[in-house]
Amino acid sequence: MGVTNGQQGRVAVQDLVKRFGPVNAVDHVSLEVSSGEFLALLGPSGSGKTTILMAIAGFEYPDEGRILIGDEDITWAPPNRRNLGMVFQRYTLFPHMSVLENIAFPLKMRGIGRAEREERARAALATVRLGQMGDRRPAQLSGGQQQRVAIARAIVYQPRVLLMDEPLSALDKNLREEMQIEIKHLQREIGITVIFVTHDQTEALTMADRVAVLDHGRLQQLGAPRDLYEAPETVFVAGFIGETNFCEGRIPHAARPGEPVSVALLGGGQMDAVAAQPLPAGQLIKVALRPERLRVLPAGNETATARVTEAIYAGNATTLMLEGQGGQLLRARIPAGAGLHEPRPGDAVRLSWQTADARAFIA
Amino acid sequence: MRSRAQRHNRAGRMALNAAAYAVTVFLLLPTLIIAPMSVGPERLLSFPPKGFSLRWYAEYFQDTDWIRATLFSAEAGLISAVCATVIGTMLALALVRGRLPGKGLIELLVIGPVIVPHIALAVAMFLVFEQLRLTGSLIGFAMAHTVLALPFVVFTVLAALYRFDAELERAALSCGAGAFRTFRYVTLPLIAPGLVSAALFAFIISFDEAVVSFFISDLDRKTLPRKMFEDIDFNISPTLAAVATMLTALTILALLIGYGLKRSMERRARAADTGP
């Protein structure tokens, strides 16, 4: 094949387009996942994340673009010839087969003999820590156990790539968090490439090496969790990942990404920020600023820039609701136990922030 | 207040039950009367029977004409049950999963035999079969009864397919199974209880079909219902009552066996989504 073994699990999606009627469900998306990487496809419903996964799995065929695994073009290959592992949202275990028969099924389809089948299925079952459950029926297992069996079934034939379509969304919160860590460990252990669809940003940030954020079929940003949170590139990513204050205003001159800008806020007042993307002059600008990056300092009446309207205590932090001079509503988060000033409702305060933490976008 | 409402409710339910039982008895009465009539010792059909005798049952088993008609019916029933189940299952699959043009037309054609009066169908089949020398042949009966049973098979299998989780087929594909092996190992075992009902339905429809059989039988190749018609014309002997009783018992037995089989298959193949 001309590819070294190390690149067998590389997945490349090139300029993918999928239309459903007049809607572009996937709109010219390109992304590359290297072998052994954990990529999350994150977005709200209708963002195209599942459609991309289904195109990789072979259950949807694209209108334009190509999909490569290793250096093999699999865009038009039938799903059963792609040699990928797939874990579905619902567990989709075969109810008429035992747990072990479920896991051995892909091996049976590959013509592997009974003895080897059983041995490998047992090994896969042990990998997902369900060693004793082989003879049970899927219906006799809990949701979390069923999903583990589904994972064992998807990795038993050692595929290059494992696709997961919101596999944890049916589980309750505690179990979900436990499984997130477990899947992450398993992925590192066997060194498989994982493409994981989720609408849960915490899940994506916790599990993935890199996250592709999608909205309306377009790729908004592809980056490490830290980059998405700290250096969002579009206003959608800034609003979608984590909590953010948005202040609207205008700038007098155009600015290139990274350049400092002084934004004239709509309600009055100036705000120092950094351009996160090319900003044309005169257009409406949105400045994004994380609540925990906003410093709240005590102030006299003449130096005050905001007033506290509410203080919400939540144990590890206190959230302040603030009203700026121009009537802007802002939130600030003050971590508990750091000895920081904690003003009360009605207090006048002065707000400050590092210019680099305030990122300006086209609204 | 509440107890009066409850009493009211109970009275209503009792009236409804009474009405339902009355209708059931009314419908069953002719069938129930035929059983005692079949054990009367006299040469003429009479009710109530004046004694108890199994001589008319013995008569049936000793009469080669009756036995020949019964075996012929059983053969035609088995062949058309198998044909209707195979063809009907393929049709139902095509209607649910396929992306074939003219789906609506195919559906109409399938429902056809239910809507078209049987007597019209019988005449049409007679005219065609006469030309093809298929009257009085096993193949002719099997074909005719397959057509008649097909709608029931298609609807039964469609119901089973709608209950079946289609995502399991995707799971099988992702495991490396092609379309055929996905059907063989996943879809078929899970809709099998529906297929058993469908096959049973088809067999019973063929076994007691009278109108079409009346037309396409000939002198020595005839089905049991046709033979019963002839018998009632020429000699109204209590053997007829004995045959009718056995036919009823057999049908009930077949339905019970089928029901039990279906239940036990369903219990074994309890769907995964009943889990937590």
Is the pLDDT at B181 greater than 90? The verdict is yes
Is the pLDDT at B71 greater than 60? The verdict is yes
Are residues B118 and B198 in contact, defined by beta-carbon separation less than 8 angstroms?
no
Is the pLDDT at B8 greater than 50? The verdict is yes
Q: From the CB of residue B41, how many other CB atoms can be counted at a distance below 10 Å?
A: 14
What is residue B268's predicted lDDT score, i.e. its pLDDT?
67
Type of residue numbered B197:
S
| B77/B204 Cα distance (integer angstroms) | 7
* Rg (chain B; Cα; Å): 23
| B2/B4 Cα distance (integer angstroms) | 5
Chain B residue numbers with beta carbons less than 8 Å from the beta carbon of A175 are: none
Are residues A134 and A102 in contact, defined by beta-carbon separation less than 8 angstroms?
no
Is the pLDDT at B7 greater than 80? The verdict is no
A90/chain B closest Cα distance in angstroms = 9
Listed residue (A192, A225, A199, A12) closest to A84, CA to CA: A192
Q: What is the mean pLDDT of residues B34-47?
A: 81
A61 touches B: beta carbon within 8 Å: no
Contact: A142, B168; criterion CB under 8 Å: no
ipTM score: 0.85
Chain A with chain B: Cβ pairs closer than 8 A: 84
A155/chain B closest Cα distance in angstroms = 10
Interface test with B, best of A105, A145, A146, A147 (most B CBs within 10 A): A105
Three-state DSSP at A206 gives helix
Is the pLDDT at B269 greater than 80? The verdict is no
B151/chain A closest Cα distance in angstroms = 28
Q: What is the mean pLDDT of residues B2-14?
A: 78
What is residue A151's predicted lDDT score, i.e. its pLDDT?
95
Three-state DSSP at B203 gives helix
What is residue B272's predicted lDDT score, i.e. its pLDDT?
40
Give me the residues of A, 316-335, that contact B with CB < 8 A: none
Type of residue numbered A56:
I
Q: What does pLDDT average to over chain B?
A: 87
What is residue B79's predicted lDDT score, i.e. its pLDDT?
96
Where is pLDDT greater, at A198 or B98? Answer: A198
B257/chain A closest Cα distance in angstroms = 22
Is the pLDDT at B45 greater than 80? The verdict is no
Q: pLDDT of A203-243, one tens digit each?
A: 999 999 999 999 999 999 999 999 999 999 999 999 999 99
For residue B114, what are its two tokens? 């239910």
| A63/A74 Cα distance (integer angstroms) | 14
A101/chain B closest Cα distance in angstroms = 11
Contact: A80, B173; criterion CB under 8 Å: yes
Contact: A83, B176; criterion CB under 8 Å: yes
For residue B229, what are its two tokens? 């018609």
Residues 6 or more apart in contact with residue B6 via CB below 8 angstroms: none
For residue A268, what are the β-bridge partners?
Answer: none
Contact: B274, A139; criterion CB under 8 Å: yes
Contact: B272, A84; criterion CB under 8 Å: no
Closest in B176, B268, B270 to A109, CB measured: B176
Q: What is the mean pLDDT of residues B159-167?
A: 91
Q: From the CB of residue A285, how many other CB atoms can be counted at a distance below 10 Å?
A: 26
Type of residue numbered A16:
L
Contact: A88, B190; criterion CB under 8 Å: no
Residues 6 or more apart in contact with residue B32 via CB below 8 angstroms: none
Chain A residue numbers with beta carbons less than 8 Å from the beta carbon of B185 are: 94, 105
Closest in B165, B189, B275 to A143, CB measured: B275
HEC profile for A145-176? HHHHHHHHHHHCCCCCEEEEECCCCCCCHHHH
The helix/strand count (H/E) of chain B reads as 12, 0
Give this prediction's pTM.
0.82
pLDDT band at B214 (very low <50, low <70, confident <90, very high): confident
A6/chain B closest Cα distance in angstroms = 23
Q: Over its length of 363 residues, how does chain A's per-residue pLDDT go in tens digits?
A: 344 456 788 999 999 999 999 999 999 999 999 999 999 999 999 899 999 999 999 999 999 999 999 989 999 999 999 999 999 998 899 999 999 999 999 999 999 999 999 999 999 999 998 988 899 999 999 999 999 999 999 999 999 999 999 999 888 888 899 999 999 999 999 999 999 999 999 999 999 999 999 999 999 999 999 999 999 999 999 999 999 999 999 998 899 999 999 998 888 888 899 999 999 988 899 999 999 999 988 887 777 788 899 999 988 899 999 998 778 889 999 988 877 888 889 888 988 899 999 999 998
Closest chain B residue by Cα to residue A87 = B171
Phi and psi (nearest 5°) for A345? -55, 135
